[in-house]
Amino acid sequence: MSYEDILSRIDEQKKSQEITSQLYRYTGLLQAIQFFSQRFSAEQILNFTYDFVTELLIVDQIAVFSKQYDQYILIKSKGFSYTSYTLPFDENYNMIAKFHGHIMNAEDMERFLPSDLLKAFPSHLGIPLMIEDELYGFILANRMDKDSNFSQDDYIIAEALMQLFNTSLSNYKSYQDLHNAKAELDEKIFNLFAINQSSKVLLSELNLSNLYNLSIDVFSELTQSSITTFFLYDEISESYKLRGMKDAFHPSNKINLSLYLNPNAEINPAKTILDMNNLEDIKYFNSIYMNGYDTIQVLKPLYIVMVTKNTELLGFVTLGKNVAGKPYNKGIFELIESLSSSSYIALSNAKYFKQANEQKKLLQKKFDRLMSLNSLMKNINSAKTIEQLAHLTLNTLEISFGMKTGLFALFNPKNNTFKVLSSINMENCLAEFPFADSLNCLLEGENFILNSKDQIPEFLPEELSNSLSDASGAFLAPINIESIENELLGIIGVFEFSEGILADSENVLTVNTIANHISPVLYHLNQMKEQANLLCPNYENIFIKSLEKCIEEAEELFMDLEVIHIHNSKFSFTPIKLSDAASNKYKKIYRVTNSDLFIIDFDFNTVEELKSIISSEDEVEIALYKYKKDFKTVDDFMNCFAK
């Protein structure tokens, strides 16, 4: 065999070896394509990247870097002297992914990577690991043999591997994003469900005390806060009081706290959640409340949820650290904001419901007063005498309106005194007391009011003040009638109510209403009494009417009927007197005149019997008139005296 034949065979063997090597590498590349089509984690992808680069590019030195937090960390290497290395992250490294985007040779690496890194890891080939526009990591590779530089085929294989690695990393990131989106969506669905259920529970509770505890439980359970507190505005003290507290680790822990608004506090509706590790949020909280942050330090708050509506601050909720030590994520904050809105609506509804109930009770109380006043008016209208009027008025004030001490007195302008007709719970009350100069306002129709017990001896007459041992003050309402000028008829005096202040507007209005109502009644009763003293009844007419009725009864019941006429022939200013026995025996006795007396009886009598029961010293004449014998009608009876 000639020398030329030997050289030709050697060339053929080299070409066969090169073809075999290329076939092996492309077969490996096909396997890599199939392998990286599977789903791996980022750590697995980086490990497999190391293996495939080492195997298919046949390198002596390799270093794989991965971005973790704000630095690139060496995770796997071979052939280099460094087993650990950290490269701080720089935004300029992302320029490799944005503007280069392919395999790096030595010149590219000198342009993009720091010299210290290249000195530690001298390389001729760099493979960037990219996810979209971000440099996730990179691979530095080198061959020790100077004659074995990376060929064009090596760059083709490296470019193909880079595409596989980056596609696998992008798929991993897309899957992670999808997984995170799914987890976030699941959390949102749960939060929406929790908000829906919690809102139903909160809005269904109308008792403020129960709502405080319920709100605390809802915030505590859904946020897993170790210490949860609820502050709400108190209108009485004009402060924000701690209404509810739940300490997961110390359930029995109870604290009383109050916060006061700064005079020039400005509420920002956009600041719903305050981070107590943020100085600006702490400053904002202190701008709202005086010594706010220092006061709530005992609660160890991590976040504060402001319960606001526009610029109205209803209260706030404090959240401590998570019981599991986990940080609060974005979904929790969205949940907290929704819960704070629901809490605001629930608390507003509960406050309005409480106000409505209070108004309802107040209206019912006023209605009951009106009903009592109406009943009083009916009772007063039934009074037939002044004494009955006084008694009914005081009894109604005592039973229906809670008067404990009081009196009813008539005014006598002739001797300038008050005559007490009736009193309630006043021991040794005098029947009469004088009019004092301090009471001149009564003459003008105005109330006389003393709000203090100590003022009674100074302004009231001594005779009256001595009988007021348990009085809380004095309220005298005038009973007057307006004619040409005010005429004072009497007073209603109240010295103590069982409930409320003596001079309360409702109490004053009630007593004045009663006084105004009874004033015409009292006036007419006085007039009737005066007329009764001046006018005498028509006894003749009364007798005739009674006789007419008795005739009807005798006719219907077949009874005996007799009229006894007792007559004194001598004129006298003294009427005929009957004995007690006659007064007890006969019920229908009519004195027509002082000299004539008639008795109607449903039985027959004799003159002898009648004489024995007449106590008159003068001699009287007795005549008997029998029904159906002497008369049948009233006219017949009257004709008996016409003869």
Residue range 563-619, pLDDT digits in tens: 988 888 777 777 877 777 777 888 888 888 888 889 898 888 887 777 777 765 567
pLDDT higher than threshold 60 for residue 219:
yes
Terminal alpha carbon distance of the chain: 202
Tell me which of 3.30.565.10, 3.30.450.40, 3.40.50.300, 3.40.30.10 is the CATH number of domain 382-534. 3.30.450.40
Domain boundaries, the chain: 15-176, 205-354, 382-534, 539-639
Q: Which residue has the higher pLDDT, 73 or 232?
A: 73
pLDDT category, 11, cuts 50, 70, 90? Answer: low
Angle between helices 330-381 and 505-534 (to 10 degrees): 10
pLDDT higher than threshold 80 for residue 382:
no
pLDDT higher than threshold 80 for residue 343:
no
Task: Give the Cα separation of 374 and 401 in Å (integer).
Answer: 13
Tokens describing residue 541: 């007419």
Q: Which residue has the higher pLDDT, 111 or 396?
A: 111
Task: Give the Cα separation of 515 and 401 in Å (integer).
Answer: 14
Q: Which residue has the higher pLDDT, 566 or 378?
A: 566
Find the range with the poorest average confidence among 61-65, 341-345, 359-363.
Answer: 341-345
The answer for residues whose C-beta is within 8 angstroms of residue 84's C-beta and 6 or more apart is 73, 74
The answer for residues whose C-beta is within 8 angstroms of residue 205's C-beta and 6 or more apart is 211, 214, 346, 350
Q: Which CB contacts under 8 angstroms, 24+ apart, belong to 141-150?
A: 141/53, 141/57, 141/59, 141/61, 141/62, 142/59, 142/60, 142/61, 142/62, 142/79, 143/58, 143/59, 143/60, 143/61, 144/60, 144/61, 144/79, 145/60, 149/124, 150/57, 150/124, 150/125
pLDDT category, 550, cuts 50, 70, 90? Answer: very high
Task: Give the Cα separation of 568 and 550 in Å (integer).
Answer: 25
For the whole model, what pTM was predicted? 0.50
Q: Quick one: pLDDT at residue 24?
A: 65
pLDDT category, 201, cuts 50, 70, 90? Answer: confident
Find the range with the poorest average confidence among 304-313, 368-377, 450-459, 493-502.
Answer: 368-377
pLDDT higher than threshold 80 for residue 89:
yes
C-alpha pair distances (Å), 283 with each of 241, 274, 277, 287: 21, 10, 11, 6
pLDDT higher than threshold 80 for residue 17:
no
**Architecture of the CATH domain 205-354:** 2-Layer Sandwich (3.30)
Region 15-176: CATH code: 3.30.450.40
Tokens describing residue 415: 């001797």
Return the CA Rg of the chain: 57
The answer for residues whose C-beta is within 8 angstroms of residue 302's C-beta and 6 or more apart is 225, 275, 276, 277, 319, 320, 321, 328
Sign (positive/negative) of CA torsion 429, 433, 439, 444? positive
* CB neighbour class for 309 (10 Å; exposed up to 12, middle 13-18, buried from 19): middle
Strands (DSSP E) contained in 329-402 are none
pLDDT higher than threshold 80 for residue 275:
yes
Q: What is the pLDDT of residues 278-301, one digit of tens each?
A: 899 999 999 999 888 888 888 889
Averaged pLDDT for residues 118-147: 86
Same fold, 15-176 and 205-354: yes
Averaged pLDDT for residues 438-466: 81
pLDDT higher than threshold 80 for residue 6:
no
H/E run at residue 416 = none
CA neighbor of 217 nearest in space, from 317, 298, 302, 303: 317
pLDDT higher than threshold 70 for residue 545:
yes
pLDDT higher than threshold 70 for residue 37:
yes
Q: Quick one: pLDDT at residue 63?
A: 92
CA neighbor of 423 nearest in space, from 487, 504, 491: 491
